[in-house]
Amino acid sequence: MRALQAAVIVMGVLIVAGVVVLAVALAQKFGAAASLGGPPVTVPALDEPAGTRIAGSSLSGERLVLQLTGGGPDRVVVFDLARGRITGRVALAR
């Protein structure tokens, strides 16, 4: 009975230690990934009319695409994050 009790205690300690090691490893990995982002990018002002809101967004490589609604016809704005400038605007027909 004592051997079984000792085995359960040892396995419990190993499980707790494994969870702690896993948590530390994940924290280090996500911390390193966040620091690899490079310098912050300044996105230019949208200069959109009042009432405009962002309906959707998508990130593909170094391009950020925003779908805008309100303040006129629906439209899409494309940002080049590497250069920090707007590369395109497209008005969507209703």
Q: For residue 25, give both structure tokens.
A: 């490893």
Range of the domain at 5: 1-38
Decide if 43 is inside a domain.
no
Report the pLDDT value the prediction gives residue 41, as an integer from 0 to 100.
59
What is the mean pLDDT of each successive set of 10 residues along the chain, which is 94 residues long?
93 94 85 60 74 89 89 89 86 78
Decide if 63 is inside a domain.
yes
For residues 27 and 35, give the distance between their C-alpha atoms in angstroms, rounded to a whole number.
Answer: 12
Report the pLDDT value the prediction gives residue 40, as an integer from 0 to 100.
64
Q: 27 and 1: one domain?
A: yes
DSSP codes of every residue in 4-64 = HHHHHHHHHHHHHHHHHHHHHHHHHHHHHHHHTT-SPPPPPP--PPTT-EEEEEEEETTEE
| Domain count within the chain | 2
Q: 60 and 87: one domain?
A: yes
